[in-house]
């Protein structure tokens, strides 16, 4: 589905990612864990075309993706939920959702909306309410729902649990599993390594812009280096 080979990238000539290799297979949840500043967000922004790699290649769904425009990648099925959620606050919940599906025809849009409502019933209940009046957890659900309206093949999530209570965090992570079970691959950046590794089919540990460890999530959670550095054990 997605493959990065020796990708280097950064800002204003300053390299942040160093020859990063990473893959996401069909129907997989893959997590990226690592300390602040390790380059997790930069990895997502490079994949989604917001940061251009200085070398290496990115392939998505069988075609090259490095150098492509973000809007073209969205049309190809690669959709990112940004960390700040970037909702349209004064617009209603339903208007936000419909904007996520603007690339789809009207029929597909109603179908996608029904699927999002099934996943997050609260978004149907609050459909006519301004997005800015939702709680933090509901806003995160709306941001994910809006991304799903574009019918992604790969959904990228940047720290979806930021600002959420543990209970709501698990609700959002549960929804991510359901999304995967519906056939959407997921690449997840999560500050909470414990939860990310419990959820992920596979995970990568990023340090200074490169992958230093990778493997099945539960296996990494048992790794002494990961336990010491990221799980506080």
Contact status, residue 99 vs residue 148, Cβ threshold 8 Å: no
Phi then psi for residue 172, to 5 deg, are -70, -40
Question: Least CB distance from residue 196 to ligand ATP, whole Å?
Answer: 12
- What stretch of H or E contains 55? strand 55-60
Longest alpha-carbon distance in the chain: 51
40 near ligand ATP (CB under 6 A): yes
- Residue selected from 4, 30, 41, 66 as contacting ligand ATP according to rule CB under 6 A: 41
54 near ligand ATP (CB under 6 A): no
196 near ligand ATP (CB under 6 A): no
82 near ligand ATP (CB under 6 A): no
d(CA 124, CA 169): 20
Residues between 4 and 33 with contacts to ligand ATP, criterion CB under 6 A:
11, 16
Question: Least CB distance from residue 176 to ligand ATP, whole Å?
Answer: 18
- Residue selected from 37, 90, 121, 166 as contacting ligand ATP according to rule CB under 6 A: 37
- What stretch of H or E contains 80? strand 78-81
- Residue selected from 13, 36, 107, 183 as contacting ligand ATP according to rule CB under 6 A: 36
- Residue selected from 4, 24, 42, 161 as contacting ligand ATP according to rule CB under 6 A: 42
Measure the N-to-C terminal CA separation of the chain; round to a whole number of Å: 34
Q: Which of 164, 167, 228, 221 is nearest to 31 (CA)?
A: 221
Binding site for ligand ATP (CB under 6 A): 11, 16, 34, 36-42, 191
């Amino acid at each position: 589905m997605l493959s990065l080979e020796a990708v280097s990238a950064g800002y204003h000539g300053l390299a942040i990612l160093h020859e990063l290799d990473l893959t996401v297979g069909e129907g997989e949840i893959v997590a990226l864990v690592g300390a602040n500043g390790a380059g997790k967000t930069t990895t997502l922004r490079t994949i989604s075309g917001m940061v251009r790699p200085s070398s290496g290649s990115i392939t998505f769904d069988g075609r090259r993706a490095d150098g492509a425009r973000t809007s073209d990648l969205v049309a190809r099925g690669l959709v990112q939920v940004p960390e700040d959620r970037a909702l349209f606050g004064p617009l209603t919940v339903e208007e936000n959702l419909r904007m996520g599906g603007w690339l789809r025809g009207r029929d597909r849009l109603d179908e996608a909306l029904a699927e999002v409502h099934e996943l997050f019933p609260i978004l149907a209940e609050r459909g006519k309410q301004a997005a800015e009046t939702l709680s933090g957890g509901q806003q995160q659900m709306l941001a994910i729902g809006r991304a799903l309206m574009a019918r992604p093949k790969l959904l990228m999530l940047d720290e979806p649990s930021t600002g959420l209570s543990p209970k709501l965090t698990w609700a959002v992570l549960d929804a991510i599993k359901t999304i995967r079970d519906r056939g959407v691959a997921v690449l997840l950046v999560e500050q909470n390594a414990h939860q990310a590794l419990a959820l992920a089919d596979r995970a990568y540990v990023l340090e200074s812009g490169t992958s230093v460890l990778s493997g099945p999530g539960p296996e990494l959670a048992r790794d002494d280096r990961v336990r010491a550095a990221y799980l506080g054990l």
